[in-house]
Amino acid sequence: MSVTVITGCSTGFGFLAAKRFAERGDHVFATMRNPEGKNKPHADALLAFAAEGGYKIDVVDLDVTSDASVNTAGEQIVTTAGAPDVVINNAGQMFVGLAEAFSSEELAHQLDINVVGIHRVNRALLPSMREKGSGLIINVSSVAGRMAFPFFAIYHASKWGVEGYSAGLRRELASSGIDVTIVEPGPFSTELFPQSPTPADPEGRGKTYPEVVNQTWEAMGANFDSMFQDPEVNTDPALVVDRFVDLVDMTPGTRPLRGTVGLDFGVEANNQRDAEFDVGFMEAMQMTDFVKLKTD
């Protein structure tokens, strides 16, 4: 029985992924913040699903912004089931609005959730995975980690950070038999958009921008709403879970560094081009041992 750890399982991709991997026969550790409080209905729904189907899902309290919470959860998981076979770093949040209007503390919080949070989880679980000598880490980024729109600068900073972190980590772990890959969803109809924090902006800096900026900001929200209601645009979050499953089922050593899911705004073409560059760059640096995943 494979052991699969998924963060951010209260809603969206994480909630669906917990169910899908449990149906496949995995022992799923579905992590989320405050499963006995705010997220209790979501935790209870997963546990009821497992009980009804005879699946194995453990709901674990894990806040990716807390070292203590992540370390406690990691110890619980490894003690209960041993080293994970798959870790899906899915937890995240999207801050949107004019970059200048965000305080430095707000920016730091966005990075803490989306970048440092992934690092905390990996640090808690990697020792056991390296000791076992195998495993897969899937880091959920976004097409926003490979391009840039106005009003998403703070979010872009976090997802570009996830991209660089993941690419470097993949090289460092290859000789230990641990694979790292990135999933880059486009816009999907999850709680990510409705729950996106905007800048507090007590100084009112946003109001000092040219009118075209504020008009575009207002129109952008309506455009995304229209996209989610357009039957020609598939924004079903199950597509992302399908990608998780496909990556898990791929032969170790054949998984790509990154790949998009859904509306990609042309990012996938850039990914294909950059994949060739990445390999050539590592060869030029005479670091080919950091490219090939150890599989024996």
Residue 220: CATH number of its domain: 3.40.50.720
- How many separate domains does the chain show? 1
Has residue 18 been placed in a domain? yes
Has residue 45 been placed in a domain? yes
Give the residue numbers annotated as catalytic, written as ranges: 10, 141, 155, 159
Has residue 66 been placed in a domain? yes
What is the pLDDT, as a whole number, of residue 148? Answer: 93
**How far is the C-alpha of 60 from the C-alpha of 163, rounded, in Å?**
27
**How far is the C-alpha of 61 from the C-alpha of 69, rounded, in Å?**
7
Enclosing H/E stretch for 58 = strand 56-61
Has residue 258 been placed in a domain? yes
What is the pLDDT, as a whole number, of residue 223? Answer: 75
Has residue 296 been placed in a domain? no
- Token couple for 187: 């816009």
pTM of this structure: 0.94
DSSP state of 93: -
Domain span at residue 205 reads: 3-290
Per-10-residue mean pLDDT of the chain, 296 residues long, equals 97 97 98 97 98 98 98 98 98 96 98 98 98 98 94 97 97 97 89 82 94 90 72 84 98 96 91 86 84 88
Has residue 295 been placed in a domain? no
**How far is the C-alpha of 293 from the C-alpha of 170, rounded, in Å?**
9
Q: Which of 229, 150, 154, 216 is nearest to 187 (CA)?
A: 229
Q: Strand order in 135-140's β-sheet? A: 56-61, 27-32, 3-6, 86-89, 135-140, 178-185, 258-261
Q: What is the dihedral of CA 157, 162, 165, 169, to 10 degrees?
A: 180
Has residue 13 been placed in a domain? yes
